[in-house]
Amino acid sequence: MAFTIQVGAFSTTERASRYADQLAAYGLDTYYFIDTDGLCKVRFDRFETKDGARQRALELQSRGVIDAFYIVRPGPAGRNADARENLQDGLVQTARRFIGTPYRWGGESARSGFDCSGLTMTVYRLNGLELPRNSRSQFRAGRPVTRHDLQRGDLVFFATGSRGRVSHVGIYSGQGKFIHAPRKGKTIRTASLSSGYFNTRYVGARRYL
């Protein structure tokens, strides 16, 4: 869980991308996304406390790096059952907004595309949760969940290579389906756990809430 700094809301991804690139030149960990209101919002960095985020934003503002800013609170994971359910819904809704985005190895943004773990990391980050970057590290970081107990927002893992190790990940969206970034030449889409390909390559699931 982490606080982040939001510094812009744009009508087009091109403008958001340019601004994110400008901030990245200052060494900031920037990203942008299309929010539910249709605006492309730019955020950067992560902080354990609201005060830490505010002090950093004020320092950047005094240097002329940013103008107006907004401190984004982390998601309400773990506080109560309703909060967890809201966060689960938020994870799935965020993932669905990226459906149709091209796959790109190493990608972590709507502009350039996503690989499988870049998608899961970004979706969780946009909901105030931090995940490791690659699928194997994500698999090691979460709590094991049986297939029978899967809940929306859990991550599902697969061994798609010849070595039988975790090499692919998606976000469980309910009713036996998951959202993932398949491979080069494909776009982010929904798939079924029961399909022949994924059923035979399923390794397990992890929960982080």
For the chain, domains (ranges, CATH) are 3-72 (3.30.70.1070), 81-207 (3.90.1720.10)
- Cα separation, 159 vs 167, in Å, equals 5
Instruction: Count CB neighbours of 146 within 10 A.
Output: 8
How confident is the model over 88-143, as pLDDT tens digits?
A: 999 999 999 999 999 999 988 877 899 999 999 999 988 878 888 899 999 999 89
Cβ atoms 74, 3 nearer than 8 A: yes
- Residue at token pair 């490791």: 132
| E strand map for 55-148 | 70-72, 108-109, 113-114, 143-145
Instruction: Count CB neighbours of 7 within 10 A.
Output: 23
User: Residue 112 has what pLDDT?
Assistant: 81
Catalytic residue numbers? 116, 168, 180
Helix (H, G, I), strand (E, B) or coil at 168: strand
- Cα separation, 59 vs 62, in Å, equals 5
In the structure, what pLDDT confidence band is assigned to residue 33 with cuts at 50, 70 and 90? confident
